[in-house]
Amino acid sequence: VAKRDGGNRVRMFRQEMGEQALARQRDRTDLRAAIEGGELVVHYQPIVDLATSAVAGAEALVRWQRPGVGLLGPDAFIGLAEETGLIVPLGEKVLQAASEQAVRWHAEGRCLGVTVNVSTRELATPGFLPRLERVITTAGLAPSRLTIEVTESVWADEPAMRTLVSVRDAGIRVALDDFGTGYSSLSYLQRYPFDVVKIDRSFTGALGRNGRTEGVIRCIIALADVLGAKTVAEGIETPEQADWLRDAGCSYAQGYLFGRPADAASWHAHSSAASPGW
C-alpha cells in the first residue's frame, strides 16, 4: 500500500512539476512579449532634498501591466527576467523611458535627475555601457543627469564591477542601493567610489524602535561623507523620520511621506528644486 501511495505521490509530484514548468515557460513567453509589446510601465518616485523639501530627482520603478492580471510590481517578475536574460531588453526599455521622461521634464523647466535600477546581471552583460550610451544619446539626456542604482551584490561579480567603473568614468553617477543589507565591505567602498549611498528601509523603518538604529544610521551618513557620497534615506513614511534624518545630516529622502511611485502623468503636483544638487 505504502509503495502504491508513494508511486501516486511521485506521479502527482511529476505532474505538478510539469505544470510549474509550463507556467514558467508561459510567464517567460508572456514577459518577452510584454517587453516588446509595450506592457511595461515606468513609475517615478520623488527624491526629496531634506534641507529644502524640494523634489531633486525621480527614481524609475518598473511595473508590468499584465492583461487579465493587473499591474504587477517588480518583485513579481524581475527574478524571472534575471534568470532568463530578459533583464537586458527590460532594462533597456526602462532606461529609454526614464531618459525620455527626464528630457521632457527638462523641457518643462523641471531640472530633475533620474535614477534607474540596474541588476548586477545586466551590468555583467557585454556591451552594457555602449547600449546605455546609445539610449541616452538618442533621448538627448546628458550623462550627468542619470544615476544608476546597483546593489552590493555587484561586489561579487568581477565583470559587473569593471563595467561599473567605466560607467562612472563616462560621467554617469552611481548609487549603492539598499545599503547595509548585502555584502558591504569597507575595502570595496574605499576602492570603488560611489556618488550616492541609499540607506535601506530596514534601518529607517527601525528608527525609534531599535535603540541601536540611530547610531548605525549616523555611522552610515558619516561613512558616506568621508567617501564624498550623498545619502538618500529610503522608506520615509513619517515626518518624525524625516526630521530625524535631516538633523542627522542626511541629504535626501524618499518614501510614501513625500510620494508613492506614480506614472509621469500624475507628477504635476510635485514642485521641483530650483537647482538640483542631486
Closer residue to ligand C2E (CB): 91 or 113: 91
Contact 136, 98 (CB under 8 A): no
Closer residue to Mg ion (CB): 30 or 177: 177
Stretch that binds Mg ion, among 10-18, 116-124, 182-190, 265-273 (CB under 5 A): 116-124
Tell me the C-alpha distance between 64 and 45, whole Å: 16
Site for ligand C2E in 235-264 (CB under 6 A): 235-237, 254-256, 261
For ligand C2E, which residue of 55, 86, 88, 94 counts as binding (CB under 6 A)?
A: 94
**Residues in Cβ contact with 84 at an 8 Å cutoff, skipping those fewer than 6 apart:** 28, 31
Spell out, one character per residue from 126 to 155, where the chain touches Mg ion: x when CB under 5 A holds, - when not. Answer: -----------------------x------
Q: How many CB atoms lie within 10 A of CB 23?
A: 10
Nearest alpha-carbon partner for 77 in 31, 124, 19: 31
Stretch that binds Mg ion, among 8-16, 45-53, 121-129, 230-238 (CB under 5 A): 230-238
Q: Confirm or reject binding of residue 122 to Mg ion (CB under 5 A).
A: no
Site for ligand C2E in 107-126 (CB under 6 A): 117-119
Q: Confirm or reject binding of residue 74 to ligand C2E (CB under 6 A).
A: yes
Q: How many CB atoms lie within 10 A of CB 176?
A: 27
Q: Confirm or reject binding of residue 79 to ligand C2E (CB under 6 A).
A: no
The three grid cell numbers given for residue 170, joined into one nine-digit string: 563616462
Residue with cell 534624518: 245
Nearest alpha-carbon partner for 214 in 256, 174, 243: 243
Nearest alpha-carbon partner for 231 in 214, 218, 212, 215: 218
* Shortest reach from residue 91's CB to ligand C2E, in Å: 6
Amino acid present at 154: V
Residues that bind Mg ion (CB under 5 A): 117, 149, 177-178, 234
Residues that bind ligand C2E (CB under 6 A): 45, 61-62, 73-75, 78, 87, 91, 94, 117-119, 149, 177-178, 235-237, 254-256, 261
